Amino acid sequence: MKKYLFSLGLVLTFAACAPYEDEDIKLPDPPGAPSITVEPIVGAPNRIVIKDVSTGFFARVWDLPGGTPAKSTLAVDTIFYQSKGDYIITMYASAEGGGGAAQVSRSINIAEDAQPACDPQTALLTGDCEGPGKCWTLTNAAGAVRVGPQPGSSEWYTSPVNGLQTAQYDDDFCFYFTAGRFQYFNNGQTVDPFNGYQAVDYTPPTNLSWIVSKGTGQNGADQIILPAGAFLGVWDSGPIYDIASLTEDQLVVRSKIVNTDGWFELTFVKN
């Protein structure tokens, strides 16, 4: 009897220590590469239309170094390249059903640097195609900065008369026709919306450019396109701005808020 009990104890001990194994779970096969199209716009070779035409994927991220924007999650988007050169476009996609992620890349060549066209709109923005350039500053009137959930809306905020900081009113945003050059002058400080809206020391880059993209904005608006990281008026806007209105003395633009939902409407006056 003692021998039987000892043997039974060994069996129970082994059973208690043995790992639990469920039936094998069959994972989906790794996804194949997603499918994309990459096409230049006829008559506007510095603008490239990217499109996700794959099936079986539920999310995507485009990596677009050198382009504006430099990232996108849209199924279809238009990317602007200011400078000539070779660029790589990559889309990362997540497969449905937990099948993992896959990627696909395409190389493109931009043959020429983008140059602004000399037309009445450019003359208003730059002062004159042959002139020394034109600078714009945020207006002291009410509504210099409006913020809302949609383009042109202001439910979230409207700046009052003289309601901005001195470090904003002394900023100049200058457009030059020659070489499509853009320069931001801030007199040493810029208001930092990512750090409590404090005025901080900041030296803007000097090698910036601009271009107007015809009809690519909301409801067919023309757009001012700046390089990634450049901005007009407020640091958390841009670098793409719909032109809401442009006259000899006033410029009104609209832009998405960086890294969040909502839109700015910014009003500038000629300096």
Residue percentage of the chain with pLDDT more than 70 = 89
Which residues in the chain show pLDDT less than 70? 1-30
182 with 214, same domain?
Answer: yes
Is residue 151 in a domain? Answer: yes
Over residues 101-120, the pLDDT tens digits come to 899 999 999 998 888 889 99
Does 133 share its domain with 233?
yes
Q: What own/partner pairs with CB < 8 Å and gap ≥ 24 does 35-44 have?
A: 35/104, 36/89, 36/91, 36/104, 36/106, 38/89, 38/106, 38/108, 40/108, 41/78, 44/213, 44/214
What's the whole-model pTM score? 0.75
Q: How many separate domains does the chain show?
A: 2
- Are 177 and 76 in a shared domain? no
Q: Quote the domain boundaries for residue 71.
A: 36-110
Residues 97 and 132 in one domain: no
- Domain boundary (110, 135, 151) is at 110
pLDDT for residue 5: 40
Predicted local confidence at residue 114, as pLDDT: 84
What is the reported pLDDT for 167? 97
Could you tell me if residue 9 is inside a domain? no
Residue at 63 is within a domain: yes
Residue 204 lies in a domain: yes
Q: 257 and 127 share a domain?
A: yes
C-alpha angle with apex 112: 120 to 63, nearest 5 degrees? 100
Predicted pLDDT of residue 193: 96
Q: What is the CATH number of the domain that holds 84?
A: 2.60.40.10
Q: Measure the CA–CA gap between 217 and 73, rounded to whole angstroms.
A: 18
Q: Say yes or no: 132 and 234 in one domain.
A: yes
> Of the residues 85, 110, 135, which one is the last residue of a structural domain?
110
Distance CA 133, CA 91 (A): 39
Tokens of 36: 């994309």
Domain annotation covers residue 61 = yes
